[in-house]
Amino acid sequence: MAENFHHISVLPEETIRGLITDPDGVYIDATLGGAGHSRRIADRLSENGRLIGIDQDDAAIEAARERLLRHPAAPRVDIVRANFSELSHVLSELGVERVQGVLFDLGVSSHQLDTAERGFSYMQDAPLDMRMDRRAKLSAYEVVNTYVEDELIRIFYKYGEERWSKRIAEFIAAAREKAPIETTGELVDIISRAVPKGARQKGGHPAKRVFQAVRIEVNDELGILDASFRQAVDALMPGGRIAVITFHSLEDRQAKETLKELAQGCTCPKDIPVCICGKKPEVKLLGKAIKPTPEEIEANPRAKSAKLRIAEKLP
């Protein structure tokens, strides 16, 4: 299974260098995937260090378990199938109070995109699914076939920043009146007919933004970020770090805004001579967002839009 799970970790050296401050610490990879980042974390741990890997995807859990079981640090590795929004609960179940670092590598994995039957890709025909956790009830099929037209317009525009949201939703509504939309191929065909010819000739694949929007809706990808980042910061010991890798502007905006708010101190009006709000900064931001080098992008084109943000917990 592990051999079939292909995913190239983005910004690997920059991430590990920014995340690990104490090899004796406890570290969380909140998006375990194929264990690319986790193996690098494990490489840096001492015999006292500990790694906790979390993922909601059963295929990722199986592949990561195979890969990490062969690592010398395997006895000090815990692998948990859960959504990272349950981070606090996972730590409580493991009896862990504080950690030295938490990593979030957001978005869809290469394995999920490349496995046709998962239904994430607009480049391969497959059943409409897009569930990162295949135990979940909501799938792309339900979104595409049961959401009212206005709701489709909303998610296409909000999560996909799709300028043709209204027209695409109208075409989907008309198509599903005749028969349910069953596959990614059918959806791609409807989107391609809805987007005017001139718009199809620029800006990449016409289905890219809608597929992103549906995937985000199915997995509530943006809705869980703020609370999850705050849980991670709460779990950090002073000097511990949170590292967040994003792949599109919506994720990055959420990461940037949450970390910026956590780094902000007093919010009292400037004309008040003494602070009465009592707000203290919880973290300090460590520089600006880090982007992949041209060499990394050439080796892994999917890294092109990636950004890494790191913050450190204050005393």
Reported as a single tens digit per residue, the pLDDT across 25-61 is 999 999 999 899 999 999 999 999 999 999 999 999 9
**Average pLDDT score over residue span 101-120:** 93
Q: Which has the minimum average pLDDT: 46-55, 220-229, 266-275, 288-297? A: 266-275
Show the tokens assigned to 165: 């949201």
Say which CATH topology domain 2-107+222-313 has.
Rossmann fold (3.40.50)
CB 103 within 8 A of CB 30: yes
In the prediction, which pLDDT does 6 show? 59
Q: Which pLDDT score, from 0 to 100, does residue 255 have? A: 98
185 to 11, 109, 120, 235: CA distances (angstroms):
32, 20, 11, 43
Percent of the chain with pLDDT over 70: 98
Asked if residue 8 has pLDDT above 90, the reply is: no
The residue assigned the tokens 């869809």 is 108
Residue 58, pLDDT score? 95
User: Does the pLDDT at position 66 exceed 70?
Assistant: yes
Region of poorest pLDDT, from 91-95, 157-161, 276-280, 287-291: 276-280
pLDDT (average), residues 141-156 = 98
Is residue 167 a contact partner of residue 206, using CB atoms and an 8 Å limit? Answer: no
pLDDT at 1 over 70: no
The vertex-83 CA angle with 79 and 89, nearest 5°, equals 75
pTM of this structure: 0.93
Intervals of CATH 1.10.150.170 along the chain: 119-219
CATH number of 119-219: 1.10.150.170
Q: What is the pLDDT of residue 110?
A: 84
CB atoms within 10 A of CB 272: 10
- The overall average pLDDT reported for the chain is 95
